[in-house]
Amino acid sequence: MKFRALLLLPVVLTGCLNRPASPQPHPQSSPQSSTPSGGTSMQPQTYRMPSEDALQRLLKATNAARAVARKCGNDVYAAAGPLMLNIRLIAAAQTHAEDMAEHDFFAHEGSDRSDVVVRALRFNYSYRMVGENIAAGYPDVQTTIDGWLTSPGHCRNLMNPDFREVGFGYAEKQDTEYGRYWVQVLGVQH
């Protein structure tokens, strides 16, 4: 089975832009800057909520990883505080996981051309900073988290001490290239 992981580096609030910038779906891309759009509320999509058990396993594995100081590429990170689940970030993550599975693709840009900023705003997440890690093909929670930790950019997202909240998405569909699609959306609100 194939395994893939991509990252999106954090989208940081600055006073320069008046709308979200489209992040680059490139592991080696630099952070993109963005400010929330002027209160535009987009209609949320429907989605299937991940099971409480799956959410708790993903949260536990993520927080265990954050609790240990580590090197992400050339950057050293001290242990970071635990993240809390946020229903809006769960919705943004789950809709993207379902979109990738349903349309058999693997990318940060959705089939509707949305990015993590647009998806967070659709569920009224008033962000100061938001980031996204995606993975495909991994068989379980721990190997997905371990895969993100071995990639410098994913690791930086996961270990960023500025993030306070997280949402996870997971979708599975046979007869797709990867079968399993994982999404982690990290954020901090205003």
What pLDDT score was predicted for residue 8? Answer: 40
What pLDDT score was predicted for residue 115? Answer: 97
- Is 158 strand, coil or helix? helix
**Stated pTM of the model:** 0.78
What pLDDT score was predicted for residue 187? Answer: 97
DSSP letter at 97?
Answer: H
What pLDDT score was predicted for residue 49? Answer: 75
Nearest to 167 by CA among 110, 92, 79: 92
What pLDDT score was predicted for residue 3? Answer: 54
**pLDDT beneath 50: ranges in the chain:** 7-43
> What HEC string does 10-74 produce?
EEECCCCCCCCCCCCCCCCCCCEECCCCCCCCCCCCCCCCCCHHHHHHHHHHHHHHHCCCEEECC
